Amino acid sequence: MVSMHLRAATAVDSNLRFEYLPNGLKVVVREIHTAPLVSVWCWYRVGSGDELPGHTGVSHWVEHMNFKGTVNIPREQMKGIVERFGGMWNGYTWIDQTTYLETAGRAALDRMLFLEAERMAYGLYEPGDCESERTVIISELQGGENDPDQLLDTEVMATAFRAHPYQHPTIGWLEDLRAMTRDDLVSHYRRFYIPNNATLVVVGDVNADDVLRGAEAHFASIPEGVAPERIRVCEPPQLGERRVLIEREGTTGYVKVVFHAPAANDPDFFAMLVLDAILTGAKGVNLWSSFRVAPPQRRARLYTALVERGLASSVSGAIMPTAQPYVYTLSFTAIDGIPLEDVEAAALQEIERVREAGVEPADVDRARHQLRARLVFDNDSVTNVAHQLGYFETIAGPDYLPLLQQRIDAVTAEQVWDVARRRLGPCTRTVGWFKPVGAPRQGLDEMSANPART
């Protein structure tokens, strides 16, 4: 007998079920019978936004460790559980969440549920694996520091925030990674990897009752834990423009302009999505896949002002739904020989045009149509549907996703103008430059005499 308690259901989609196990695990099932596939995602409400100084990067490191074997699954057999069914598996950590996924033929459902239950409660954290993964993650961090665009992004974020843990890179700071211990990892794992801090999402060619019975069989024996106390930090208002300059050897210059942005549940968020579509082209809101396809930019304001004028080779914007207020990032890659001052000036001039004169209703209509198309792409597979259900459940609750398109469609030109005036002003922005200082010189003596500057 499946002893579950029905807590919520949606009237929007009759194929969608939300239920809870007695231990607090939320189970979300959506039946899609277009192909014999099933995607399983297990989401945890923990990310780098839950980390204190000294322990930055612990959520990402724990994610890595949960691919290293469990009490009942030897490390070398974990990947084979999914691959023998022709499937794929992966996971990621960001500021509000950590998640794991498998997509395979429907016959693999029971094994995928077994794998996620093992990952939730029975991770091994062998000392040797912890140490080897420390080396892997530090190497990953240092590789990112060799990417000028990524390095600039990290430094700008650390400057845009003064108090909120969103300022920390998800991978962590180097000295924290060097200092953390296995006990730190296990403590984090035990604190956050509990059923009442998780959501299990299953989408595909399944019967919802069968999924719920399978979830009961695999997860019900895992005890409910003490709900983690969340970090509650309100970022103080920014009182003036902040700037970051990185000068290093390189060949390409980059400019980033970052503004504080609303959380997903703030009414301003939907107007900001439309504003970004007008400025840089419409993107979806799927962290997993939206940025893999270039946005339509032919009529985007910043693309026209910088790329078509030969100042920048690329322009991009990013505003992502988050549990607490985050940032809106504009990124520009300078054309070789173009001063960064010119790139920044052209970008800020176009932003001020929008703040002073607003946007046309036709611009808003086009942006809404483009966003509608991108939201369709965000749900073009069982994997993406499962991602969207779990992502928004984790950061905003079950009622958010079904109403997302409706809220975007309701945005007006006046709302876009209002949010641009209030949120894209000089006092709320952080500007970052990566300024290349020349190609590496030959010879050890010359290299040591001209160290990189940050």
Task: Count CA atoms within 13 Å of residue 33 on its CB side.
Answer: 5
Residues 106-151 have pLDDT tens digits of 999 999 999 999 999 999 999 999 999 999 999 999 999 999 999 9
Q: Reduce the DSSP state of residue 90 to 3 states and report it.
A: strand
What lies within 8 Å, CB to CB, of 383 at 6+ separation is: 39, 101, 103, 203, 288
Report pLDDT for 234: 93
Helix, strand, coil tally for the chain in percent (to 5): 45, 20, 35
What amino acid occupies position 419?
V
Q: List, by residue range, all CATH 3.30.830.10 domains of the chain.
A: 5-219, 242-436
Residues 403-427 have pLDDT tens digits of 999 999 999 999 999 999 999 999 9
Instruction: Give me the residue label for tokens 């009490």.
Output: 71
Task: Count CA atoms within 13 Å of residue 10 on its CB side.
Answer: 19
Task: Assign domain 242-436 to a CATH class.
Answer: alpha beta
- Rounded Cα distance between 424 and 275, Å, is 11
- Rounded Cα distance between 269 and 317, Å, is 14
pLDDT in tens, the chain (454 residues): 333 433 333 334 668 999 999 999 999 999 999 999 999 999 999 999 999 999 999 999 999 999 999 999 999 999 899 999 999 999 999 999 999 999 999 999 999 999 999 999 999 999 999 999 999 999 999 999 999 999 999 999 999 999 999 999 999 999 999 999 999 999 999 999 999 999 999 999 999 999 999 999 999 999 999 999 888 899 999 999 999 999 999 999 999 999 999 999 999 999 999 999 999 999 999 988 877 788 999 999 999 999 999 999 999 999 999 999 999 999 999 999 999 999 999 999 999 999 999 999 999 999 999 999 999 999 999 999 999 999 999 999 998 999 999 999 999 999 999 999 999 999 999 999 999 997 443 333 332 333 333 3
Residues 167-219 have pLDDT tens digits of 999 999 999 999 999 999 999 999 999 999 999 999 999 999 999 999 999 99
Beta strands at 98-105 and 88-93: parallel, antiparallel or unpaired: antiparallel
Q: Which of 39, 42, 129, 123 is nearest to 82 (CA)?
A: 39
- CATH code given to domain 5-219: 3.30.830.10
The three-point CA angle 45-51-57 to 5° equals 95
Query: pTM of whole model > 0.85?
Result: yes
Which DSSP string do the residues of 165-201 spell out, in sequence order? Answer: GGGS-TT--HHHHHH--HHHHHHHHHHH-SGGGEEEE
